[in-house]
Structure 1
Amino acid sequence: MGPLLIKSAAAIAAVAGLAFASADELAPGAAYGDAALSSLTQAELADHALRVFERADRNGDQALDVDEYTALSVVTAELAQLNGFIAIETEDEPSLIALPGASPSALSRSEHIRINAVAQHAFYAYAGGDGRIDADEFVAAQSALFIAADRNGNGTLKRRELGVFAQRQASQTIGA
């Protein structure tokens, strides 16, 4: 196995382990009952994005390279597809946003390839000339998804806006 493959596999395993550990503590229910998120502010999203960034930065260099970012994107999409929700950490507790029309299943090979390609494209769009995404750039990228989902522009996602945001997080839609 080459160093690139080992690095990617380690990043996937670490992010997946953290996500499974968080999800494992939740009791099933309609959008997982009390863990269902009813609203999300841009400040809460920024806090969550920083936590995700820290976990995804597997080599601790304070930046994500294309492999770390792509691994994070693929794992996020895979877990969202399998679970039917995305997890957002607010106030040190995981909260869940159900995916609209979700029917839990594994990603197909073609979906995996698409997510990987979209993630690489997004990485280079956000990374700029240095070929790395620092914490501020990562938060800005996540904020762009938030702003696109905030249809009424009030700085808080609720109901349908949360579903749109979750779908974009899960599918890595370009130009959200």
Structure 2
Amino acid sequence: MPIIYRTAGAWGAGKGSNLTPTEVDENFHDLDERVDALETDPPSPVEISNITQAGNTITVHMSDGSTFGPFTLPRPVQRPTETLNVSASTLTPTDAQTMFYFRCSHAVGCAVTIPNNSAEPFLVDAEIHFRQTGAGPITFAGAAGVTLNVPDGFLAETAVQGAVVTAKKVATNEWDLFGLLAEDVT
């Protein structure tokens, strides 16, 4: 039995006059039956069927086929995860070395090449740290297609023995260099 309304609204035209006592009782009875049906046989909830992850995002899949997401997962700020001593004169870090701390000790320096994303897909916000422990500077260059951003007035190399420089990935093939960089005196 449909509910009887007095006035017009989203439910339709309405009766246009006061309800009789019988109509009021029928409305209450109708609503009571609907609530009783929900209490007796509640509908099955839409539940999570699974959650998938792609990189640093997750998508929630529901039992009715709907999805929520993808949601970007927060990443903790990390400290260097491993210290590696590098005695070679060249170094090309890999994405498995994200957050590594390289101590470069070659006497004439070390040429670091930051690889293209297609070769080493570091996540954006990845950081790699370098310390010049030898007499020669650490020089930084980007592989083909890679941009290294250096502050105006500075070079893409360490300034002195003991200098520490960080390379931070800021876009697909773009890295910022910061730390104790050599001044450009030309």
Q: For the superposition of Structure 1 and Structure 2, which TM-score range results when normalised by the shorter chain?
A: under 0.3
* Structure (1/2) with the larger helix percentage: 1
Q: Which has the higher contact order (CA 8 A, sep 6+)?
A: 1
* TM-score, with structure 1 as normaliser: 0.26
Q: Which of the two has higher C-alpha Rg?
A: 2
* Structure (1/2) with the larger strand percentage: 2
* TM-score, with structure 2 as normaliser: 0.25
